[in-house]
Amino acid sequence: MGDKTRIILMGRSAAGKTTLCQCISHEQIRYHKTQTVSIVNQSMIDTPGEYLERRGFRGALMVTAADAAQNSLDRARRWAESGGAAHTPVPWDKETLGYALGRGSCAMAALTDRGLAGVLAEKLVRADVGRRPSLEPLLHENKNGRAQRPAAPET
């Protein structure tokens, strides 16, 4: 793998994600419950099974860079759809998106914090109202990630 490429392993609890990381890294196989996202040998990202099992851990918004390759766009759409997240291309290139995330380059990113995703969705819709249909579910999130209550009718 190239030094900028990472594989993310996601699956149900006890599916063997950590064991696979240990095998690929030529480590002694030992069972331990993965509690947090961890990077293994700078090339693999191991995740807790709860990321798939509990909807609250799934991404809220998947974004793709304006210059992302078609296969990256397709993959991001599939991941968003399978995780129940919204997807939208953003008006920034891979270098700009990567810089914002502290990386050299990034074709796609998942925002897991619903409040942050809601704020970004609002700003994207303000800049381009055509994004509203795909981002509508996030436009009603407040900064705490909870759906806002409708305003009380005036009497």
Q: Average pLDDT, stretch 9-19?
A: 81
pTM value surpassing 0.85: no
User: Which pLDDT score is estimated for 66?
Assistant: 95
Domains present along the chain, CATH in parentheses: 7-53 (no CATH), 58-140 (3.30.1330.30)
- DSSP string computed for 79-129: HHHHHT-EEEE-SS-HHHHHHHTTSS--SEEEE--HHHHHHHHHHHHHH-G
> pLDDT digits over 105-128, tens only?
889 988 877 788 889 999 999 999
> pLDDT digits over 29-77, tens only?
888 788 777 778 777 877 777 666 655 555 688 899 999 999 999 988 8
